[in-house]
Amino acid sequence: MKKVGVAILGLGVVGGGTYEILTKNREFYQKTQNVDISVECVLELNRERALKLGVPEEKIMSNIAEVICNPDVNIVVEVIGGIDAAREFVLAALNAGKTVVTSNKELFCKYSHELERAAKRQNAGLYFEASCVGGVPIIRTLLDGLQANHITSMMGIINGTTNFILTKMSNEGISYEEALKEAQALGYAESNPVADVEGFDAAYKLSILSSLAFHTKVPFSKVFREGITGVTREMIADGKELGYCLKLLAIGKQTDAGIEVRVHPTFVRTGHPLAAVNDSFNAVYLTGDAVGEVMLYGRGAGALPTGSAIVSDVIYAATHSEIRYSTFKNTANAEKDVRFPSDFSSAYYLRIKVSDKTGVLAKIAALFAKYNISIVEMLQKGEGETASVTLITHETRELAIRNAVSKINALEVASVESVLRVVS
């Protein structure tokens, strides 16, 4: 039976889960995959943590050089996260001809060109299933399950922390700050939550997934990004009243104008499959020209779900002699002829505070008409001298909405409190 040795760099949550799966299921993989995968060593400075997980003392390394020069290590699993040390260690492993499996979305998103170049030069593998949507096998689905298709669009809830926060706000009517505190207490959100709540994590993943889906480099810098820190209880309550729930959506679309890539809070019509994705669950909803619509759903984070994706890559690398690299033109920047339009088409929700006087709505309606914006539905609620008008538009252009909003804000009698994009 083929023998394959693995080194795990970092025994944090995901590294620990990976170690547990590989050791617990070793015999199972011998039987089902006809390969004997052993963990040869781990790189972990916190020896106590490694010992607690059951790693034998002699397999705990504190120096990357000890890992790289171990001839029994064929595959290096990088689960350290961040850029600096991870990039250095991954390049060192690839340059030594070791195959690398990584869960590091930021590293792969920003440096895939450099890593893939090193891998190809040494005829080493480079696998990254765990970098996007944890245990949900979205990358293998794009590469091996849906490769017959032109993917035309992709919409995903690809960050569990923000989905947890938005679900809590919706179910319990609590504020963003209260929901964030709960997410932190439960270990979903970091003490510094910026990467999740400002949409960076989702944007890294969208850059990787849309590069694969559309077979061209989609750099992180081209991803439009808005986080959830401005989401209020009022927005969520308005959405409920109008039949929508709020999700941080990552959207990738191939249109005649180019590739749209954006991450932003979005109202999703109740009844859409993505509206039912709650708590810390993730889902990706894809449309292909042959298959039509496909949705994958599951856990996007956590020790065992993300470990599942890593071990899947380890088994793939261990059982395929032909190395598979990414399917897009892997360069630092976008290819010259690919366009990323900043204007796009969407439906919108607006909440406008108005003075409750005759003629105010007529002024707003005139501005909508000027920018060719058509209204689907509208609610008005009085609050003494002022009123709140909430409305949903038909599909229109982002630039038209921005222009209309700035003109409404210039009126003395109205100001726009919130604008959200809407998926019906």
Q: Minimum Å distance from CB 235 to ligand HSE? A: 21
CB count within 10 Å of CB 200 equals 20
Stretch that binds ligand HSE, among 51-59, 158-166, 220-228, 358-366 (CB under 6 A): 158-166
Helices 13-24 + 26-33 axis angle, to 10: 60
Q: Look up residue 298 and give its amino acid.
A: G
Contacts of 172 (CB under 8 A, 6+ apart): 179
357 is catalytic: no
- Of 159, 167, 170, 346, the residue at the interface with ligand HSE (CB under 6 A) is 159
- Of 16, 239, 300, 307, the residue at the interface with ligand HSE (CB under 6 A) is 300
Stretch that binds ligand HSE, among 157-165, 239-247, 366-374, 386-394 (CB under 6 A): 157-165
Nearer to ligand HSE, 137 or 288 (CB): 137
Q: Minimum Å distance from CB 194 to ligand HSE? A: 11
CB count within 10 Å of CB 35 equals 16
Task: Count interface residues toward ligand HSE (CB under 6 A).
Answer: 7
Stretch that binds ligand HSE, among 31-39, 156-164, 266-274, 284-292 (CB under 6 A): 156-164
CA dihedral 51, 53, 54, 56 (to 10 degrees): -50
Contacts of 38 (CB under 8 A, 6+ apart): 3, 4, 5, 6, 26
Q: Under the phi-then-psi rule, with left for phi > 0, alpha for psi from -120 to 50, and beta for the rest, what region is 134?
A: left
Q: Look up residue 255 and give its amino acid.
A: T
Q: Minimum Å distance from CB 207 to ligand HSE? A: 13
Nearer to ligand HSE, 170 or 390 (CB): 170
CB count within 10 Å of CB 230 equals 11
Nearer to ligand HSE, 5 or 81 (CB): 81
Contacts of 265 (CB under 8 A, 6+ apart): 166, 226, 227, 228, 230, 231, 246, 247, 248, 249, 420, 421
- Of the candidates 205, 222, 247, 253, the residue annotated as catalytic is 205
Nearer to ligand HSE, 161 or 326 (CB): 161
Sign of CA dihedral 134, 137, 139, 140: positive
- Of 125, 135, 160, 288, the residue at the interface with ligand HSE (CB under 6 A) is 160
Work out whether 78 is an interface residue with ligand HSE (CB under 6 A). Answer: no
DSSP output for 199-222: THHHHHHHHHHHHHHHTS---GGG
Nearer to ligand HSE, 301 or 401 (CB): 301
- Provide the mask over 185-224, with x wherever binding to ligand HSE is found by CB under 6 A and - wherever it is not: -----------x----x-----------------------
Q: Under the phi-then-psi rule, with left for phi > 0, alpha for psi from -120 to 50, and beta for the rest, what region is 187?
A: left
Stretch that binds ligand HSE, among 119-127, 139-147, 153-161, 283-291 (CB under 6 A): 153-161
- Of 301, 309, 334, 367, the residue at the interface with ligand HSE (CB under 6 A) is 301
Nearer to ligand HSE, 263 or 354 (CB): 263
Residues in touch with ligand HSE (CB under 6 A): 159-161, 196, 201, 300-301
Residues annotated as catalytic are 205
